[in-house]
Structure 1
Amino acid sequence: MAGLREKQKADRRRRILQAAGELFRSAGYDHARIEDIAERAGVSVGTFYNYFGNKGDILLETVSMEVEEVLEAGNALVAEPPGAVPEAILALILSYYEHSLTYLSKEMWRTAMAVSIRAPETPFGQHYTALDRRLSTQVCAMIAGLQARGLVRAELDPQAVGELLFNNLNMMFIEFTKDEAMSMAALTAAVERQVRPLAAMISAPPAG
Protein backbone atom coordinates (compact mmCIF):
# COMPACT_ATOMS: atom_id res chain seq x y z
CA MET A 1 0.00 0.00 0.00
CA ALA A 2 2.84 2.38 0.85
CA GLY A 3 4.32 1.80 -2.60
CA LEU A 4 0.97 2.56 -4.25
CA ARG A 5 0.55 5.78 -2.27
CA GLU A 6 4.02 6.95 -3.26
CA LYS A 7 3.28 6.17 -6.89
CA GLN A 8 0.00 8.14 -6.69
CA LYS A 9 1.80 11.10 -5.08
CA ALA A 10 4.49 11.07 -7.75
CA ASP A 11 1.81 10.94 -10.45
CA ARG A 12 -0.06 13.92 -8.97
CA ARG A 13 3.17 15.88 -8.71
CA ARG A 14 4.02 15.07 -12.33
CA ARG A 15 0.54 16.11 -13.49
CA ILE A 16 0.76 19.43 -11.62
CA LEU A 17 4.19 20.18 -13.10
CA GLN A 18 3.01 19.29 -16.58
CA ALA A 19 -0.17 21.34 -16.28
CA ALA A 20 1.73 24.33 -14.93
CA GLY A 21 4.28 24.14 -17.73
CA GLU A 22 1.54 24.06 -20.35
CA LEU A 23 -0.23 27.07 -18.81
CA PHE A 24 2.99 29.02 -18.33
CA ARG A 25 3.65 28.58 -22.05
CA SER A 26 0.14 29.34 -23.28
CA ALA A 27 -0.98 32.07 -20.85
CA GLY A 28 2.35 33.33 -19.57
CA TYR A 29 3.77 32.82 -16.10
CA ASP A 30 2.21 35.94 -14.58
CA HIS A 31 -1.27 35.18 -15.93
CA ALA A 32 -1.37 31.47 -15.07
CA ARG A 33 -3.61 31.00 -12.01
CA ILE A 34 -3.11 28.27 -9.45
CA GLU A 35 -6.82 27.40 -9.77
CA ASP A 36 -6.34 26.80 -13.50
CA ILE A 37 -3.22 24.71 -12.93
CA ALA A 38 -5.08 22.54 -10.42
CA GLU A 39 -8.06 22.11 -12.75
CA ARG A 40 -5.84 21.14 -15.69
CA ALA A 41 -3.94 18.67 -13.49
CA GLY A 42 -7.19 17.13 -12.23
CA VAL A 43 -6.55 17.95 -8.57
CA SER A 44 -8.07 20.32 -6.03
CA VAL A 45 -6.44 23.62 -5.11
CA GLY A 46 -5.86 22.16 -1.64
CA THR A 47 -4.00 19.23 -3.17
CA PHE A 48 -1.90 21.66 -5.20
CA TYR A 49 -0.76 23.31 -1.97
CA ASN A 50 0.17 19.91 -0.53
CA TYR A 51 2.89 19.76 -3.20
CA PHE A 52 3.82 23.37 -3.96
CA GLY A 53 3.61 26.57 -1.95
CA ASN A 54 3.22 28.83 -4.98
CA LYS A 55 3.96 29.18 -8.70
CA GLY A 56 7.57 30.06 -7.92
CA ASP A 57 8.09 26.62 -6.36
CA ILE A 58 6.89 25.01 -9.59
CA LEU A 59 9.14 27.21 -11.69
CA LEU A 60 12.16 26.37 -9.55
CA GLU A 61 11.46 22.65 -9.71
CA THR A 62 11.10 22.90 -13.48
CA VAL A 63 14.44 24.72 -13.76
CA SER A 64 16.01 22.10 -11.48
CA MET A 65 14.63 19.28 -13.61
CA GLU A 66 16.04 20.95 -16.71
CA VAL A 67 19.50 21.46 -15.25
CA GLU A 68 19.72 17.99 -13.68
CA GLU A 69 19.06 16.41 -17.07
CA VAL A 70 21.64 18.51 -18.91
CA LEU A 71 24.20 17.82 -16.18
CA GLU A 72 23.62 14.10 -16.53
CA ALA A 73 24.08 14.28 -20.29
CA GLY A 74 27.12 16.51 -19.82
CA ASN A 75 28.80 13.98 -17.52
CA ALA A 76 29.03 11.54 -20.42
CA LEU A 77 30.64 14.19 -22.63
CA VAL A 78 33.15 15.12 -19.93
CA ALA A 79 34.06 11.46 -19.42
CA GLU A 80 34.49 10.81 -23.15
CA PRO A 81 35.08 14.12 -24.95
CA PRO A 82 34.13 13.90 -28.63
CA GLY A 83 36.93 14.99 -30.94
CA ALA A 84 39.49 17.73 -30.39
CA VAL A 85 39.16 20.76 -28.10
CA PRO A 86 36.74 22.84 -30.23
CA GLU A 87 34.41 19.89 -30.88
CA ALA A 88 34.44 18.77 -27.22
CA ILE A 89 33.67 22.24 -25.84
CA LEU A 90 30.96 22.91 -28.40
CA ALA A 91 29.37 19.51 -27.83
CA LEU A 92 28.97 20.33 -24.13
CA ILE A 93 27.70 23.87 -24.66
CA LEU A 94 25.29 22.91 -27.41
CA SER A 95 23.93 20.03 -25.30
CA TYR A 96 22.93 22.67 -22.73
CA TYR A 97 21.27 24.87 -25.34
CA GLU A 98 19.48 22.09 -27.21
CA HIS A 99 17.76 20.92 -24.02
CA SER A 100 17.06 24.40 -22.64
CA LEU A 101 13.54 24.78 -24.02
CA THR A 102 12.38 21.24 -23.24
CA TYR A 103 10.52 22.27 -20.09
CA LEU A 104 10.78 26.05 -20.07
CA SER A 105 9.85 28.78 -22.51
CA LYS A 106 11.96 31.89 -22.98
CA GLU A 107 9.50 33.80 -20.78
CA MET A 108 9.85 31.21 -18.01
CA TRP A 109 13.64 31.51 -18.16
CA ARG A 110 13.39 35.30 -17.97
CA THR A 111 11.13 35.05 -14.93
CA ALA A 112 13.46 32.61 -13.18
CA MET A 113 16.49 34.79 -13.90
CA ALA A 114 14.68 37.92 -12.71
CA VAL A 115 13.61 36.28 -9.44
CA SER A 116 17.12 35.01 -8.76
CA ILE A 117 18.58 38.49 -9.34
CA ARG A 118 15.85 40.37 -7.48
CA ALA A 119 15.89 38.07 -4.45
CA PRO A 120 19.29 36.34 -4.31
CA GLU A 121 19.04 35.46 -0.61
CA THR A 122 15.74 33.59 -0.93
CA PRO A 123 15.66 29.80 -1.30
CA PHE A 124 14.77 30.31 -4.97
CA GLY A 125 17.70 32.65 -5.58
CA GLN A 126 20.17 30.49 -3.72
CA HIS A 127 19.08 27.31 -5.47
CA TYR A 128 19.19 28.94 -8.90
CA THR A 129 22.72 30.20 -8.21
CA ALA A 130 23.77 26.74 -7.03
CA LEU A 131 22.51 25.20 -10.27
CA ASP A 132 24.50 27.76 -12.26
CA ARG A 133 27.62 26.89 -10.27
CA ARG A 134 27.19 23.20 -11.00
CA LEU A 135 27.04 23.93 -14.72
CA SER A 136 30.13 26.12 -14.46
CA THR A 137 31.92 23.36 -12.56
CA GLN A 138 31.07 20.89 -15.31
CA VAL A 139 32.54 23.16 -17.99
CA CYS A 140 35.70 23.48 -15.86
CA ALA A 141 35.81 19.69 -15.54
CA MET A 142 35.66 19.40 -19.33
CA ILE A 143 38.69 21.71 -19.70
CA ALA A 144 40.58 19.87 -16.95
CA GLY A 145 39.84 16.54 -18.63
CA LEU A 146 41.04 17.80 -22.00
CA GLN A 147 44.17 19.15 -20.33
CA ALA A 148 44.82 15.79 -18.68
CA ARG A 149 44.65 14.20 -22.14
CA GLY A 150 47.29 16.62 -23.37
CA LEU A 151 44.86 18.52 -25.60
CA VAL A 152 44.82 21.81 -23.66
CA ARG A 153 47.97 23.78 -22.92
CA ALA A 154 49.52 22.57 -19.66
CA GLU A 155 50.30 26.08 -18.36
CA LEU A 156 46.66 27.19 -18.38
CA ASP A 157 44.37 27.24 -15.34
CA PRO A 158 41.49 24.95 -16.36
CA GLN A 159 39.11 26.51 -13.83
CA ALA A 160 39.74 30.03 -15.12
CA VAL A 161 39.26 28.90 -18.73
CA GLY A 162 36.13 26.94 -17.82
CA GLU A 163 34.63 29.88 -15.95
CA LEU A 164 35.36 32.16 -18.90
CA LEU A 165 33.58 29.78 -21.26
CA PHE A 166 30.63 29.35 -18.92
CA ASN A 167 30.24 33.08 -18.38
CA ASN A 168 30.11 33.60 -22.14
CA LEU A 169 27.64 30.78 -22.84
CA ASN A 170 25.48 32.02 -19.97
CA MET A 171 25.46 35.61 -21.25
CA MET A 172 24.65 34.43 -24.77
CA PHE A 173 21.76 32.38 -23.39
CA ILE A 174 20.46 35.46 -21.58
CA GLU A 175 20.54 37.36 -24.87
CA PHE A 176 18.68 34.46 -26.49
CA THR A 177 15.91 34.48 -23.88
CA LYS A 178 15.54 38.27 -24.16
CA ASP A 179 14.91 38.07 -27.92
CA GLU A 180 11.75 36.09 -28.76
CA ALA A 181 12.65 36.21 -32.46
CA MET A 182 16.13 34.73 -32.04
CA SER A 183 16.25 31.11 -33.14
CA MET A 184 18.25 28.31 -31.57
CA ALA A 185 20.19 28.02 -34.82
CA ALA A 186 21.21 31.69 -34.55
CA LEU A 187 22.31 31.20 -30.96
CA THR A 188 24.41 28.14 -31.70
CA ALA A 189 26.00 29.76 -34.75
CA ALA A 190 26.98 32.84 -32.72
CA VAL A 191 28.47 30.78 -29.89
CA GLU A 192 30.34 28.50 -32.28
CA ARG A 193 31.87 31.58 -33.94
CA GLN A 194 33.07 32.76 -30.51
CA VAL A 195 34.24 29.41 -29.14
CA ARG A 196 36.33 28.16 -32.06
CA PRO A 197 39.05 30.85 -31.92
CA LEU A 198 39.26 30.56 -28.13
CA ALA A 199 39.52 26.79 -28.40
CA ALA A 200 42.32 27.17 -30.94
CA MET A 201 44.23 29.44 -28.53
CA ILE A 202 44.01 27.04 -25.59
CA SER A 203 44.74 23.88 -27.60
CA ALA A 204 48.12 22.30 -27.01
CA PRO A 205 50.45 22.37 -30.03
CA PRO A 206 50.78 19.08 -31.93
CA ALA A 207 53.41 16.73 -30.52
CA GLY A 208 56.73 16.83 -32.34
Structure 2
Amino acid sequence: MSSLRERQKENRRRNILQAAREQFVESGFETTTIETIAAQAEVSSVTVYNYYGTKTGLLLALVAESDALLRERMDALLSDPPDTIGEAFSAFAATIREHALSFLTKPVWRQVIAASIVEGDSQFGRAYAQLDRELARLMAKILEKLRARGRVNALVDLDILGQSLFHLQNARFTQFISIDGLQNETVDRYLREDIAALLAAAPAGSPT
Protein backbone atom coordinates (compact mmCIF):
# COMPACT_ATOMS: atom_id res chain seq x y z
CA MET A 1 0.00 0.00 0.00
CA SER A 2 2.84 2.36 0.91
CA SER A 3 4.52 1.64 -2.43
CA LEU A 4 1.30 2.46 -4.28
CA ARG A 5 0.99 5.78 -2.44
CA GLU A 6 4.58 6.64 -3.28
CA ARG A 7 3.97 5.90 -6.97
CA GLN A 8 0.85 8.04 -6.92
CA LYS A 9 2.77 10.92 -5.31
CA GLU A 10 5.56 10.60 -7.86
CA ASN A 11 3.03 10.58 -10.70
CA ARG A 12 1.42 13.74 -9.32
CA ARG A 13 4.82 15.43 -9.06
CA ARG A 14 5.69 14.46 -12.62
CA ASN A 15 2.32 15.64 -13.95
CA ILE A 16 2.61 18.97 -12.11
CA LEU A 17 6.11 19.59 -13.48
CA GLN A 18 5.07 18.69 -17.01
CA ALA A 19 2.08 21.01 -16.77
CA ALA A 20 4.25 23.81 -15.38
CA ARG A 21 6.80 23.40 -18.14
CA GLU A 22 4.13 23.51 -20.85
CA GLN A 23 2.36 26.49 -19.28
CA PHE A 24 5.59 28.46 -18.81
CA VAL A 25 6.65 27.80 -22.41
CA GLU A 26 3.26 28.47 -23.99
CA SER A 27 1.89 31.28 -21.80
CA GLY A 28 4.97 32.75 -20.14
CA PHE A 29 6.08 32.64 -16.54
CA GLU A 30 4.34 35.85 -15.43
CA THR A 31 0.99 34.95 -16.99
CA THR A 32 0.92 31.38 -15.72
CA THR A 33 -0.75 30.81 -12.36
CA ILE A 34 -0.63 27.96 -9.90
CA GLU A 35 -4.32 27.47 -10.67
CA THR A 36 -3.76 26.96 -14.42
CA ILE A 37 -0.94 24.52 -13.69
CA ALA A 38 -3.13 22.61 -11.24
CA ALA A 39 -5.99 22.46 -13.72
CA GLN A 40 -3.77 21.03 -16.46
CA ALA A 41 -2.20 18.53 -14.06
CA GLU A 42 -5.68 17.58 -12.79
CA VAL A 43 -4.81 18.22 -9.15
CA SER A 44 -5.86 20.88 -6.67
CA SER A 45 -3.99 24.15 -6.27
CA VAL A 46 -3.30 23.13 -2.68
CA THR A 47 -1.48 20.03 -3.95
CA VAL A 48 0.77 22.17 -6.14
CA TYR A 49 1.53 24.50 -3.22
CA ASN A 50 2.23 21.55 -0.93
CA TYR A 51 4.68 20.00 -3.39
CA TYR A 52 6.48 23.09 -4.72
CA GLY A 53 5.39 26.10 -2.67
CA THR A 54 5.55 28.79 -5.37
CA LYS A 55 6.08 29.25 -9.09
CA THR A 56 9.75 29.87 -8.28
CA GLY A 57 9.82 26.49 -6.56
CA LEU A 58 8.45 24.96 -9.75
CA LEU A 59 11.16 26.76 -11.74
CA LEU A 60 13.85 25.27 -9.52
CA ALA A 61 12.38 21.79 -9.89
CA LEU A 62 12.37 22.21 -13.67
CA VAL A 63 15.98 23.43 -13.66
CA ALA A 64 16.99 20.43 -11.53
CA GLU A 65 15.22 18.11 -13.98
CA SER A 66 16.88 19.89 -16.90
CA ASP A 67 20.32 19.55 -15.33
CA ALA A 68 19.80 15.83 -14.68
CA LEU A 69 19.08 15.37 -18.39
CA LEU A 70 21.98 17.64 -19.31
CA ARG A 71 24.40 15.56 -17.25
CA GLU A 72 23.34 12.51 -19.27
CA ARG A 73 24.22 14.39 -22.47
CA MET A 74 27.50 15.51 -20.93
CA ASP A 75 28.45 11.90 -20.22
CA ALA A 76 28.87 11.35 -23.96
CA LEU A 77 31.16 14.38 -24.22
CA LEU A 78 33.10 13.35 -21.12
CA SER A 79 33.69 9.85 -22.48
CA ASP A 80 35.44 11.15 -25.61
CA PRO A 81 36.04 14.92 -25.61
CA PRO A 82 37.63 16.77 -28.54
CA ASP A 83 41.41 16.88 -28.46
CA THR A 84 42.06 20.56 -27.68
CA ILE A 85 40.96 22.89 -24.89
CA GLY A 86 39.27 25.20 -27.40
CA GLU A 87 37.28 22.47 -29.13
CA ALA A 88 36.35 20.75 -25.87
CA PHE A 89 35.21 24.04 -24.35
CA SER A 90 33.18 24.88 -27.44
CA ALA A 91 31.49 21.47 -27.35
CA PHE A 92 30.79 21.82 -23.62
CA ALA A 93 29.15 25.24 -24.07
CA ALA A 94 27.21 24.15 -27.16
CA THR A 95 25.81 21.14 -25.31
CA ILE A 96 24.51 23.44 -22.56
CA ARG A 97 22.89 25.90 -25.00
CA GLU A 98 21.32 23.24 -27.18
CA HIS A 99 19.92 21.35 -24.23
CA ALA A 100 18.63 24.53 -22.57
CA LEU A 101 16.52 25.47 -25.58
CA SER A 102 15.27 21.92 -26.03
CA PHE A 103 13.86 22.07 -22.50
CA LEU A 104 12.69 25.67 -21.93
CA THR A 105 12.41 28.86 -23.98
CA LYS A 106 14.69 31.88 -23.73
CA PRO A 107 12.04 33.95 -21.87
CA VAL A 108 11.67 31.22 -19.24
CA TRP A 109 15.45 30.92 -18.84
CA ARG A 110 15.53 34.68 -18.27
CA GLN A 111 13.15 34.15 -15.37
CA VAL A 112 15.43 31.41 -14.03
CA ILE A 113 18.50 33.66 -14.18
CA ALA A 114 16.60 36.56 -12.60
CA ALA A 115 15.31 34.37 -9.77
CA SER A 116 18.81 32.99 -9.12
CA ILE A 117 20.07 36.57 -8.63
CA VAL A 118 17.13 38.07 -6.73
CA GLU A 119 16.82 35.02 -4.49
CA GLY A 120 20.52 34.25 -4.21
CA ASP A 121 20.36 33.59 -0.48
CA SER A 122 17.17 31.53 -0.67
CA GLN A 123 16.83 27.80 -1.19
CA PHE A 124 16.33 28.48 -4.90
CA GLY A 125 19.52 30.54 -5.17
CA ARG A 126 21.63 28.07 -3.22
CA ALA A 127 20.31 25.08 -5.17
CA TYR A 128 20.88 26.86 -8.49
CA ALA A 129 24.45 27.72 -7.46
CA GLN A 130 25.04 24.08 -6.58
CA LEU A 131 23.87 23.01 -10.03
CA ASP A 132 26.34 25.48 -11.54
CA ARG A 133 29.16 24.07 -9.41
CA GLU A 134 28.38 20.58 -10.68
CA LEU A 135 28.64 21.76 -14.28
CA ALA A 136 31.93 23.50 -13.53
CA ARG A 137 33.21 20.23 -12.10
CA LEU A 138 32.18 18.47 -15.32
CA MET A 139 34.30 20.95 -17.27
CA ALA A 140 37.22 20.12 -14.96
CA LYS A 141 36.72 16.40 -15.62
CA ILE A 142 36.87 17.04 -19.36
CA LEU A 143 40.15 18.88 -18.80
CA GLU A 144 41.43 15.87 -16.83
CA LYS A 145 40.85 13.75 -19.93
CA LEU A 146 42.81 16.23 -22.03
CA ARG A 147 45.64 16.31 -19.49
CA ALA A 148 45.91 12.53 -19.74
CA ARG A 149 46.49 13.03 -23.48
CA GLY A 150 49.17 15.63 -22.83
CA ARG A 151 46.96 18.49 -24.04
CA VAL A 152 46.80 20.44 -20.75
CA ASN A 153 49.73 21.73 -18.69
CA ALA A 154 50.43 19.38 -15.79
CA LEU A 155 50.90 22.32 -13.40
CA VAL A 156 47.47 23.91 -13.99
CA ASP A 157 44.84 23.60 -11.25
CA LEU A 158 42.06 21.93 -13.21
CA ASP A 159 39.35 22.81 -10.71
CA ILE A 160 40.15 26.51 -11.02
CA LEU A 161 40.47 26.29 -14.79
CA GLY A 162 37.19 24.36 -15.02
CA GLN A 163 35.41 27.00 -12.92
CA SER A 164 36.91 29.82 -14.98
CA LEU A 165 35.83 28.29 -18.27
CA PHE A 166 32.39 27.51 -16.90
CA HIS A 167 31.93 31.14 -15.80
CA LEU A 168 33.01 32.34 -19.25
CA GLN A 169 30.45 29.99 -20.77
CA ASN A 170 27.85 31.21 -18.28
CA ALA A 171 28.41 34.86 -19.28
CA ARG A 172 27.87 34.01 -22.93
CA PHE A 173 24.88 31.82 -22.04
CA THR A 174 23.29 34.77 -20.23
CA GLN A 175 23.92 36.92 -23.30
CA PHE A 176 22.41 34.18 -25.49
CA ILE A 177 19.17 33.85 -23.54
CA SER A 178 18.87 37.64 -23.06
CA ILE A 179 18.50 38.33 -26.78
CA ASP A 180 15.81 36.39 -28.65
CA GLY A 181 17.44 36.93 -32.04
CA LEU A 182 20.95 35.89 -31.00
CA GLN A 183 21.72 32.62 -32.76
CA ASN A 184 23.51 29.60 -31.36
CA GLU A 185 26.12 29.78 -34.13
CA THR A 186 26.95 33.39 -33.28
CA VAL A 187 27.53 32.60 -29.61
CA ASP A 188 29.69 29.64 -30.61
CA ARG A 189 31.84 32.01 -32.66
CA TYR A 190 32.08 34.45 -29.75
CA LEU A 191 33.23 31.69 -27.40
CA ARG A 192 35.77 30.36 -29.86
CA GLU A 193 37.18 33.87 -30.17
CA ASP A 194 37.17 34.25 -26.37
CA ILE A 195 39.12 31.07 -25.71
CA ALA A 196 41.50 31.65 -28.62
CA ALA A 197 42.35 35.11 -27.29
CA LEU A 198 42.92 33.77 -23.77
CA LEU A 199 45.13 30.92 -24.94
CA ALA A 200 47.18 33.24 -27.16
CA ALA A 201 47.60 36.02 -24.59
CA ALA A 202 50.86 34.86 -22.96
CA PRO A 203 54.02 34.86 -25.11
CA ALA A 204 55.66 31.50 -25.79
CA GLY A 205 57.72 30.37 -22.83
CA SER A 206 56.12 32.88 -20.45
CA PRO A 207 55.61 31.56 -16.89
CA THR A 208 52.23 33.36 -16.76
After TM superposition, is the score higher than 0.5?
Answer: yes
Q: CA deviation at 1:198?
A: 4.7
Structure 2 counterpart of 1:125: 125
Partner residue in 2 for 1:185: 185
> CA-to-partner distance for each residue in 1:137-170, whole Å, 9 max, x for gaps?
1112211221122111223332332222111110
For 1:110-189, list aligned pairs within 5 A.
Answer: 110-189=110-189
**3-state SS, counterpart of residue 98 of structure 2:** helix
For residue 73 of structure 1, what is the aligned residue in structure 2?
A: 73
Q: Match of 1:7? A: 7
The 10-residue stretch of structure 1 (98-107 or 70-79) with the greater mean CA deviation from structure 2: 70-79
> Residue in 2 aligned with 1:46?
46
Whole-angstrom distance in 2 between the partners of 1:190 and 1:170:
13
Change (3 A) 1:196 1:70: farther
Aligned-pair CA distance for 1:196: 4.6
Identity, in percent, stands at 36
Q: Output the CA distance in 2 between the equivalents of 1:146 and 1:96.
A: 20
Does structure 2 retain, via aligned residues, the 8 Å contact 1:106–1:177?
Answer: yes
For 1:135 and 1:50, the matched residues in 2 are separated by 30
Deviations 1:99-152 (A, max 9, x none): 012322212221122122122111011111111111111112211221122111
Deviations along 1:67-99, one digit per CA (max 9) or x if unpaired, are: 122223223422432444433332222111110
Query: Which whole-Å CA distance do the structure 2 matches of 1:86 and 1:190 have between them?
Result: 12
User: Cα 1:116–1:150, aligned 2, differ >3 Å: closer, same or farther?
Assistant: same
The 4+ residue runs of structure 1 with deviation greater than 4 A are: 196-202
Normalising by structure 1, report the TM-score: 0.86
Does the 8 Å CA contact 2:70/2:99 hold for their aligned counterparts? yes
Between 159-168 and 76-85, report the one with greater CA deviation: 76-85
Show the counterpart of 2:35.
35
Partner of 1:19: 19
Give, in angstroms, the shift of residue 61 of structure 1: 0.6
Q: What TM-score results when the alignment is normalised by the length of structure 2?
A: 0.86
- Secondary structure at the counterpart of residue 142 of structure 1: helix
Q: Does structure 1 retain, via aligned residues, the 8 Å contact 2:83–2:146?
A: no
Aligned residues: 203
Q: List runs of 5+ in structure 2 lacking aligned partners.
A: 203-208
Gaps of 5+ in 1: 203-208
Q: Over aligned residue pairs, what C-alpha RMSD do you find?
A: 2.3
> Matched residues in 2 for 1:46 and 1:130: separation?
29
Question: Is contact 1:19-1:37 (8 Å) kept?
Answer: yes
